[in-house]
Structure 1
């Protein structure tokens, strides 16, 4: 009798967490667990993300720079990681917290285990703690400074570990754009088979790959620029539109980017901003921004689009917000005409979008590219493309700009 054999690819086992680790919060609370990913010590602001999937996109989102990310979903890592789903060149989170790391990868697209990439990018993590309890504490006390300690860092005394956590600077006042931005300009041509609208200048404050791809797919030659770009350099490009990306840090600490945007608005160039780009538009318009108690993070945040009356489920990651009245029009304190809030959160009425009524500019606080996540807000790319086309038509006709 002949026995037939078939080659079967067995998913690799994820690395097993080794050794003890501890999570320390600035209020002195300690949670004992197991080391996960790289070992050592890491400091940052602890935040939680409510997505049940998309952990690789979360870790490689530059907006999480300076933060220790905790996943509220209990089982993380079962689909592994791959190069196609990276949102940037590396993992940016300062640390990573999960309850139950997967023991085996089970996905045909997986190329490595999550643990392998955490180690390769030096992301210190901890597993085996009650993430629900930590989440409830953050929701009650607000986002806090924290630290994860494992390996040799466990030899530090409890008092020394707590002192390191407390002595680190908080997120307020931090400008992290220079840390995550592209070191030099790069260009992505309009997608094949798509009618070209023009050139869009994208200020990279921590942009994700999907955003650049979607702009190219909607008719733009994309010029991605460093965060240090000046108005003179921007004018040399003579863009048909300008886009400010998502990114980490405090918008109040990004004065150079705010002034750059104010000049763009004075030039009358169509503008679209997301996440950090929404906060910077608010500040360019003369509005204040403030720090949220624990922020909005995850892929299930409900937002109302006031123009259509539709409720959209959105992907978000922000700890700061714009201060503005939810209802009615108001005058821009910086002299840019009438403004209104276009979207707001249905959880806590936080401003989720701004629309200028006398100049061609609008922004949203969430991520319409949403990888991984809902695609309810994807229409905003088409709305922006339409507004740029309309602006070009009015400019060609010599008519006054209104939107």
Structure 2
């Protein structure tokens, strides 16, 4: 059936519907990854967004039961050039279309995704609607409605766990604050035998410290870090009391907790091929990224923060560390889901930081 993608600037794309027949409104963003669409679509950080894949064929290796980053995808829709209807892979147990029908997510294929991506790069992330399958629409009325739509600002509350739960291990105890956690982060901690307790985004610092953690992990998540100021206060209260490692939204919240500011990027960083320079070693790492906000380098003075990583493409901040406390963060995804594994060692660095902090406490 026919389906339209209509943008708030009046641009209309006509294509074929797949997945759910319902309509959906969201912020249109693009991802440059060539593979990993299952991990991308199940990443809670895409809550409220319609994702455009720049790679032309999507769905060619199907959907399997192992590569989900969350149980319930929060993405609002998917835009592709060509949808593979007959995937071929030994792990595949369903098609992308079948998954979207089950999860009630709409998609559109057979449109010019290069044109759409260039439009986003030119105008920035923009609101859009995937119309109901087979529905004929009045474009002018749809655009008028779109311009008045206020995007939700409670995305973190939508995707965070409702209550704490354990993921047991016999190693370091880590409290993982779930702002929209990808399961890859939990997997990497479990692989290092960490005793992990996952807690909701609005858990207080007192409750977190009551678990007696060796360290605290600040997860990735969706939306504007300025929408969750209560989380900033919690991070501020944890600094100096326990080692901290933050990823993506956790990185931004950490920066704000230390006095820095954040701002919205024009079209964000989303893909599995973003080069980042480690300023301490000079090494360039290829990273997986998904974020629409960045830390403002002009606001770092007086924060006691040092920049550790920068993006080669636009020189934005990709990593920070605290000068006085055992705490560091990165804007990208070292759990590599999907993407390269160049930065996986950061989890080992976190383990070493927790061990060193424990020794300091013993001999203090």
Classify the TM-score, shorter chain.
Answer: over 0.9
Hey, what's the Cα distance between the residues in 1 that align with 2:305 and 2:131? Answer: 47
TM-superposed deviation, 1:311: 0.4
Are 1:73 and 2:70 counterparts?
no
Match in the other structure for 2:308: 342
Match of residue 331, structure 1, among 272, 295, 302: 302
8 Å contact 2:160–2:201 — kept in the other structure?
yes
TM-superposed deviation, 1:168: 1.7
Could you list the per-position Cα deviations for residues 109-151 of structure 1 after superposition, in whole angstroms to 9, with x for gaps in the alignment?
0000010001111111111000000000110111111111133
* Alignment map for 1:374-393 (pairs within 5 Å): 374-393=340-359
8 Å contact 1:283–1:289 — kept in the other structure?
yes
For the aligned residues, what is the CA RMSD?
Answer: 1.4
* Alignment map for 1:171-182 (pairs within 5 Å): 174-182=153-161
TM-superposed deviation, 1:167: 1.7
8 Å contact 1:340–1:357 — kept in the other structure?
yes
Match of residue 272, structure 1, among 234, 242, 245: 245
Match of residue 285, structure 1, among 252, 258, 267: 258
Could you say if the C-alpha distance between residues 164 and 121 of structure 1 is closer, same or farther in structure 2, counting changes exceeding 3 Å? farther
SS at match of 1:70: strand
8 Å contact 1:207–1:247 — kept in the other structure?
yes
Are 1:366 and 2:337 counterparts?
no
SS at match of 2:235: helix
Hey, what's the Cα distance between the residues in 2 that align with 1:349 and 1:221? Answer: 36
Match in the other structure for 2:205: 231
Match in the other structure for 1:305: 278
TM-superposed deviation, 1:197: 4.0
TM-superposed deviation, 1:164: 2.8
SS at match of 2:280: coil
What is the total number of aligned residue pairs between the two structures? Answer: 364
SS at match of 2:111: coil
Hey, what's the Cα distance between the residues in 1 that align with 2:205 and 2:309? Answer: 29
SS at match of 2:62: coil
Are 1:157 and 2:138 counterparts?
yes
Match in the other structure for 1:106: 88
* Alignment map for 1:127-146 (pairs within 5 Å): 127-146=109-128
Hey, what's the Cα distance between the residues in 2 that align with 1:283 and 1:175? Answer: 18
- Gaps (5+ residues) in structure 1? 1-18, 191-195, 333-337, 399-403
Which structure has the bigger radius of gyration? Answer: 1
Match in the other structure for 1:4: none
Match of residue 321, structure 1, among 294, 297, 302: 294
Hey, what's the Cα distance between the residues in 2 that align with 1:379 and 1:169? Answer: 40
Hey, what's the Cα distance between the residues in 2 that align with 1:57 and 1:164? Answer: 32
- Gaps (5+ residues) in structure 2? none
SS at match of 2:131: strand
TM-superposed deviation, 1:340: 0.6
8 Å contact 1:219–1:385 — kept in the other structure?
no
Hey, what's the Cα distance between the residues in 2 that align with 1:309 and 1:218? Answer: 27
TM-superposed deviation, 1:284: 0.2
**Structure 1 length-normalised TM:** 0.88
Runs of 4+ with >3 A deviation: none
8 Å contact 2:8–2:126 — kept in the other structure?
yes
Match of residue 14, structure 2, among 24, 32, 36: 32
Hey, what's the Cα distance between the residues in 2 that align with 1:28 and 1:377? Answer: 41
Hey, what's the Cα distance between the residues in 2 that align with 1:39 and 1:58? Answer: 21
TM-superposed deviation, 1:218: 2.0
Match in the other structure for 1:13: none
Match in the other structure for 2:99: 117
8 Å contact 1:24–1:165 — kept in the other structure?
no
Could you list the per-position Cα deviations for residues 215-250 of structure 1 after superposition, in whole angstroms to 9, with x for gaps in the alignment?
122242000001121122112212111111000010
Hey, what's the Cα distance between the residues in 1 that align with 2:145 and 2:313? Answer: 34
SS at match of 2:239: helix
SS at match of 1:216: helix
Could you list the per-position Cα deviations for residues 263-315 of structure 1 after superposition, in whole angstroms to 9, with x for gaps in the alignment?
1015x210000000000001000110000000000100110011111000000
Hey, what's the Cα distance between the residues in 1 that align with 2:181 and 2:284? Answer: 26
TM-superposed deviation, 1:161: 1.6
Match in the other structure for 1:10: none
Could you list the per-position Cα deviations for residues 171-214 of structure 1 after superposition, in whole angstroms to 9, with x for gaps in the alignment?
7xx23111001111111122xxxxx4421111001111111011
Match in the other structure for 1:16: none
Match in the other structure for 1:53: 35
Hey, what's the Cα distance between the residues in 1 that align with 2:302 and 2:193? Answer: 32
